[in-house]
Amino acid sequence: MLASEAWQILERAQVVHAEAAVAEAVERVADEIQARLHDTLPLVLAVMGGGVVFAGQLLPKLRFPLEFDFIHVTRYRGTTSGGAVGWPVPPHVPLRGRTVLVIDDILDEGATLAAVRDRFLAEGVAAFYAAVLCEKVLSRNKPIRADFVGVTVPDRYVFGCGMDVEGAWRNLPAIYALGESP
């Protein structure tokens, strides 16, 4: 994608959640996680690349001991439609017996996060929790629910705050939806 194309996408997009609303949601989620996991010494895993922005905002607000690492699991690979779940980078540490908190950008259809949960449960985690910045509101059931959700978003392709559109705009501080097709 050319820079000019990325700018055109942003110009046609609509703000779904402004920067202030995102910051407020991160604070609330941090408080909820703090209340639930403060004495568990969890292993916190950010899902790369989308979850890195949310994790970077969330981690400094968690005032308890934790271990941090990352995983890379994806269905999108630079496109706007999901495919098969792939694991470019699996967990680096043993999970058996651990309390695990996975931080991701969005719970869309739920296939990716459900695959993470299922794999981690098969590896023997003691407890699995998921925190997502966004949950997409869909008319159909999802195979998983997140324990901690920042904001809900409509059933449109959203980007910003770690979520990309064709590889661009993960760095935006607000959440946008793609413009409607002409």
Residues found in the chain: 182
Dig out the tokens for 153 from the structure: 């978003």
Helix (H, G, I), strand (E, B) or coil at 129: strand
Residue 182 has a pLDDT of: 40
Residues of the chain above pLDDT 70, percent = 92
How far apart are the C-alpha atoms of 56 and 47, rounded to whole Å? 12
How far apart are the C-alpha atoms of 176 and 182, rounded to whole Å? 18
How far apart are the C-alpha atoms of 54 and 72, rounded to whole Å? 15
How far apart are the C-alpha atoms of 75 and 105, rounded to whole Å? 13
How far apart are the C-alpha atoms of 178 and 8, rounded to whole Å? 11
Each residue's pLDDT tens digit, 68-112:
999 988 765 554 455 677 766 768 888 999 999 999 999 998 988
The amino acid sitting at 59 is L
The helix/strand count (H/E) of the chain reads as 4, 9
Domains annotated on the chain, with CATH: 12-76+87-173 (3.40.50.2020)
Task: Return mean pLDDT, the chain.
Answer: 91
User: What amino acid positions are annotated as catalytic residues?
Assistant: 108
